Structure 1
Amino acid sequence: MPSQPEIYAKYADSTPVEKSARPSRISGPDTNAIGPHSVLRWDTINNRIYQRREYDANNHPVRDIDFTSPTFPRSGRMRPGHPRPPHQHRFYINDPKIGTTSGFIRGAAELLEQPD
């Protein structure tokens, strides 16, 4: 009997993303962009946006918006305590004493903040 594919994440409509079919990581910022901008991580298997990363005018990451949520690989069940998609992860300066040259860390998942 063939083994079941590992489910890595699910979209809000429960469409699964197999671990072996995850889209490539975001490569950014877009060096041709002028000012704040976003870069998309596109899921070519399911033909939709997997993730969006926002950058400020200085090309520093601001937040990721994830359009999937992680699952337990064997069962495909959503992970408890993780917000359903879409949700956001804000970026923080790694060491505020040093500043942006210390790099950025991605924060925990939180409910998506809607713009005013």
Structure 2
Amino acid sequence: MSTPDRTIHSRYADGTPVFEGQEPNRLPGGNRPLPDAKATGPHSQLRWDIINNRIYQAREFDARGYPIRDIDFTSPTYRNGNPRPNHAPPPHQHLWHINDPQIGPRSGFQRQAGGGFPLD
């Protein structure tokens, strides 16, 4: 029987670690809305942490199904669990922007670079 990798991937605000390989699957669609998102209207998708039984991340979409922001309920750490510098503590947000404003939404979207910022 193998021992799970105990490298810490990220931590929740209360200090609970998320170990490498135990983070939830990424949200479907990447930087594009799901095909039926326009029929749904504004909504959020949740990334659920089944090991720690809580929300890991939320992604908000506008009425057209375009991503607006991610809310991260963990912050990344070094392998030893120490927080990475220049990253906002959890929860924090990352905004999404159109890749190429000249082309518009057809160019896709990218998540704001950097360590995010506190929720507004």
Q: TM-score, normalised by structure 2?
A: 0.85
Unaligned regions of 5+ residues in structure 1, if any?
none
Cα distance in 2 between the residues matched to 1:55 and 1:84? 23
Unaligned regions of 5+ residues in structure 2, if any?
none
Match of 1:21 in 2: 22
Cα distance in 2 between the residues matched to 1:91 and 1:105? 6
* Secondary structure of 2:40 counterpart: coil
Of residues 48, 60, 66 in structure 2, which corresponds to 1:60? 66
Match of 2:105 in 1: 100
**Contact 2:95 2:112 (8 Å CA) reproduced:** yes
Note the alpha carbon deviations across 1:57-102, whole angstroms, 9 max, x for none.
11110000000000001x1100011000000000000011111000
Poorly superposed stretches of 4+, deviation over 3 Å: none
User: Percent same amino acid among aligned pairs?
Assistant: 54
Q: TM-score, normalised by structure 1?
A: 0.88
Distance 1:3 1:26, change over 3 A: closer
**Contact 2:97 2:112 (8 Å CA) reproduced:** yes
State the 1:20 CA deviation: 1.2
